[in-house]
Amino acid sequence: MSGLPFSGKSTLSRKISEQLKLPRISFDEAWLEVEQKEGVVPGVNDVEQWMYINKTCEERALQLLRDGHSVVYDNLGSEYKHREKMRNIANEAEASSKIVYLDVGKKEVNMRREINLSSKERHQVSDENFDKALKTFEPPRENEITIIYNPLQDMEAWIDTEFS
């Protein structure tokens, strides 16, 4: 998955997982699982904690791929180097990879984030992390195998078309 925060990656990844009956790995959910199990995510700072959860998710993905399963990996996928890392993991398991890119602009994700401040439908992203994600985001490049989803499309029909 690739897209800005609040672009709908988790919603779409859950739907893909459900509709295609595929295992789903979610960075956000892995973070919460580790917090619940261990009380705190290991690491002395945000970067080390992020690296710990990322490694946990990557190991799960690699094992599922080695076991012959396709996987939906719900992560920010915000930078080319992060997507390249997932491609390398797929290659290591002799699997292929595709990026599902949610084409949602900065104005829309800002609006969704503001709505979430009051609805609390999902965890809130700090101003610092949100601003950093907006500044560092790299849309998929032409050389990346990418499927583009626009939220104006019917999700179920789009999944049927793109993954059948």
Contact call for residues 138 and 80 (beta carbons, < 8 A): yes
pLDDT digits (tens, 9 = 90+) for 22-80: 999 999 999 999 999 999 999 999 889 999 999 999 999 999 999 999 999 999 899 99
Q: Are 12 and 155 in contact (CB under 8 A)?
A: yes
8 A C-beta contact, residue 102 and residue 151: yes
- Provide the CATH number for the domain around residue 26: 3.40.50.300
Task: Indicate whether 93 belongs to any domain.
Answer: yes
Domain count, the chain: 1
Residue 87 confidence class, pLDDT cut points 50, 70, 90: very high
Q: Is 161 within a domain?
A: no
Task: Give the bridge partners for 149, in sequence order.
Answer: 102
DSSP three-state, residue 94: coil
Residue 159 counted as domain residue: no
Residue 158 in domain: no
Q: What range does the domain containing 26 cover?
A: 9-152
pLDDT at 125: 76
- For residue 142, being part of any structural domain is answered with yes
In a domain, 102, yes or no: yes
Work out the number of other CB atoms within 10 angstroms of the CB of residue 111: 12
3-state secondary structure of 69: coil
Residue 83: pLDDT band (50, 70, 90) is very high
d(C-alpha 43, C-alpha 25), whole Å? 21
SS3 137: coil
Indicate whether 162 belongs to any domain: no
164 found inside a domain:
no
Q: Residues 104-132: pLDDT tens digits? A: 999 999 899 988 888 877 777 778 888 89
